[in-house]
Structure 1
């Protein structure tokens, strides 16, 4: 298993993780300022996006923090401890996302205007806070700026296909599904 020491070790890594509440997420650290991700379980399962701008820092050797604000108004802070196979996430969902999660279940990149409109139309407060630990169930080196890592929406057995080597070839290119 890869040992993470530097920020360079972290960038280009593809993760699947499951929060203690059962929500399953997939995140690809595309480069030092961008992530792609898919949500496979939980209140907004089926949501996916590419090229989310983030703040990415190494807190200390092998421990990383990623933070961002989404077009929905959702704020996210993730602390990755990949050498220990875990992370802690804090998600700050606006009230409207908790009340109307189905609006966000889409390929967000195609619906940025709808996210902005919904953010203005519906209530933000009180925010729905989700502080959870997660177990990292998959880690792989996908390389930087690999647009094939998150290239399609999530489907039922996708994370199992990825973990079982049925989704990517030896060059980390998507096998057509």
Structure 2
């Protein structure tokens, strides 16, 4: 990675792929100063993807960023990005129902908000499954802010390899059609 992260503006519009130490792989995009998009490629809820998740995004110190949000599932997420070191730390607080029925969430969440909220009310929430993990950032892309092409389809096997190898986005950070 050649980009140096210093300001919040350096972070916004950046597209990341990272792998937690437990092996779970995530793809995440800082869409703007209050919104994130993401796809989950490995782990308990692999196959899930989300657009336009409202989030609190702040710079803690130059080059270190904290992002937090609560999903319609009731899952709370806190991510600390240290992109200059290709590291991040995430803590995911899964409600008991997500731990017991992860398959309900493995979808394009935006089209199933009612199901997420219904499941949150129907099943037990506590005790929450807390997953704190360090991760290695394996990809950093400069997508620019509000780029709807970054996260715009369901994850597929090999997608993150395609992205890292330059087979997914063109020079303008638009999806290459096969």
User: Which category describes the TM-score, using the shorter chain as reference length?
Assistant: over 0.9
Determine helix, strand or coil for the equivalent of 1:130: strand
Partner of 1:18: 19
Aligned pair 1:99/2:106, yes or no? no
Offset of residue 115 of structure 1: 0.1
Name segments (4+ residues, structure 1) moved above 3 Å.
Answer: none
The equivalent residue for 1:73 is: 74
Q: Deviations over 1:109-145 (max 9, x none)?
A: 0000000000000000000000000000000100000
Specify the alignment match of 1:148 in structure 2: 149
Quote the Cα distance in structure 2 between the aligned partners of 1:131 and 1:172.
31
2:115 is matched with 114
Q: CA deviation at 1:39?
A: 0.0
Normalised by the size of structure 2, how large is the TM-score?
0.99
Alpha-carbon distance, 1:12 to partner: 0.2
Paired position in structure 1 for 2:29: 28
Distance 2:69 2:86 in 1: 22
3-state SS, counterpart of residue 57 of structure 1:
strand
Q: Figure out how many residues of one structure are paired with residues of the other and give that number.
A: 177
Measured after TM superposition, the shift of residue 176 of structure 1 is 1.8
Q: Distance in 2 between matches of 1:176 and 1:114?
A: 32
**Which residue of structure 2 aligns with residue 83 of structure 1?**
84
The Cα shift of 1:149 comes to: 0.2
Task: Show the counterpart of 2:59.
Answer: 58
Runs of at least 5 residues in structure 1 that lack an aligned partner in the other structure: none
What CA distance in whole angstroms lies between the structure 2 residues aligned with 1:169 and 1:87? 26
| Aligned twin of 1:38 | 39
| Deviations 1:57-114, CA, capped at 9 Å, x for gaps | 0000000000000000000000000000000000000000000000000000000000
Name the CA distance, whole Å, in 1 between partners of 2:104 and 2:37. Answer: 19
